[in-house]
Amino acid sequence: ETGVTQSPTHLIKTRGQQVTLRCSSQSGHNTVSWYQQALGQGPQFIFQYYREEENGRGNFPPRFSGLQFPNYSSELNVNALELDDSALYLCASSSQLSANTNTGELFFGEGSRLTVL
Amino acid sequence: DAKTTQPTSMDCAEGRAANLPCNHSTISGNEYVYWYRQIHSQGPQYIIHGLKNNETNEMASLIITEDRKSSTLILPHATLRDTAVYYCIVRVVRIGNNDMRFGAGTRLTVKP
């Protein structure tokens, strides 16, 4: 069973640019969530995708957007990058078969560290 | 989801039990208590969760008070590899909800 993988692991962008981060969910998982973790803070929920649709969103502006593909992999896109977008971006997957089988356990990847200059 | 309060940092001697407290005085009846940890430069790792009964797995034990207003995560024999930030999260489990509200957590340092 493969775990959650993210790419790239590190990248540097400049203000105003756009970035796409990628995530492959753990085998058998159909839900993907994205989190932003600034230095010294806990992860903050950005949004999640289930069955290729966004079905939950945290307090992030519309320039943070995403996609989920039929194979459950996902992308996070951030437009018009700002200095404060510098952070570790974490992807987490889980299985959402039913309320009875949803234990709420998330499996996280190692993250993509974005630096905005 | 209910808010949690954890100490900023704790130390523990290697081989001893590490007891990490968490207060969640506003917890609702249908909210679970979750614990995750994050070792430096890695993604968070699920440890354990519970509703009202004490729980134990191969990693840790979770003790929830009878009024459910606080809980303690116990690592029975801490090792240097247990040095990490430990997050206590309280949330409702429902289909389609992966919104985990992480706070600042407790930085546990296990010392030789």
CB contact under 8 A, B100 and A99: no
Q: Rounded CA gap, B93 and A103, in Å?
A: 7
Alpha-carbon gap: A52 to the closest alpha carbon of chain B (Å): 12
CB contact under 8 A, B43 and A104: no
CA A51 vs CA A34, A71, B27, B97: distances in Å? 15, 10, 30, 13
Amino acid B96: pLDDT: 64
Alpha-carbon gap: B96 to the closest alpha carbon of chain A (Å): 6
Task: Please tell me whether residue A83 adopts helix, strand or coil conformation.
Answer: helix
Q: How many contacts does A have with B, using Cβ atoms within 8 A?
A: 73
Instruction: Name the token pair of B110.
Output: 């296990």
CB contact under 8 A, A104 and B91: yes
Average confidence score pLDDT of chain A: 90
Amino acid A99: pLDDT: 45
Q: Rounded CA gap, B16 and B8, in Å?
A: 20
pLDDT over 80 (residue A104):
no
The more confident residue out of B30 and B14 is B14
Mention every residue, 6+ apart, whose C-beta is less than 8 A from residue A115.
A10, A11, A12, A13, A86
